[in-house]
Structure 1
């Protein structure tokens, strides 16, 4: 039993720590093959496996990837249907977005925009909610280094987009456009 190797959970978390896309893709493929072999819904099984992959302090795979700035791994994870993107860890009740902001804060100022901001942006683009408060009652924008005005602006725009989300008028391609100018 001891020579079976790492569990899928351990492999997922290691891939997230090391930004190892090939390990993550291989593990997801193995999970999918296992689900298919046992007659389970592949998408649900992979999502459940990813959602249950937590470390000892309750950090999920997205938390770990955000903590280590693993952009490419985040990109793969966020493409997985059914992945819980606003999971909170047990220790600080941080979301992956909180962890991403802490990661940016840990970088040298010269790395904020080229290295750190894309981590926050990919999470926001995937629908992570910047309005969620952690155990200390702080939203991600409140964790951001006050000198990092660009990051603060990115997070504020994300909050606004979430808040105004229901107020956005969507284009309707089924009816008239209100203008007959393109008919001659």
Structure 2
């Protein structure tokens, strides 16, 4: 039963679009019609300002924590990893919002921090440093995902093969959702922090 319940519950939790709800409640806008059109924390920050951007991030963060707690409770570590994946899938392609969601970084950070805190922390630091130096949030996100996957092959990760498999899928999902950013990074016209 848990093998079906965990993915379904986690996907539905992930499908709660924080950026959309915050935009509607506080700014009377559909965030998907502004900026990059992405229903995520970065676009929320650019369009709605720091306070609402941070609120959106925290809500996306909470989704990952709630989903993983349910997954751990119902299915142990494997259930937690499954919950992490499906919460991100829900965030990226939310069933309640015509499958137009965000890029899943905040939810990924929260979910993996619950399961593999040391490697997640190191990966976040690598991503933040990259973003601070380059001033590209997207590049920082891509570095975070890549380092996270790479660290699953070190002694700092104790989750076995399932951790590497799920983090690899999350990395691919993240790269796919950032495909437009990657093209702009290559061309040199990606939006920088503060622009």
Question: RCO greater where, 1 or 2, for CA within 8 Å and sep 6 or more?
Answer: 2
Give the TM-score, by structure 1 length: 0.34
Larger Rg: 1
Q: Greater helix percent: which structure? A: 2
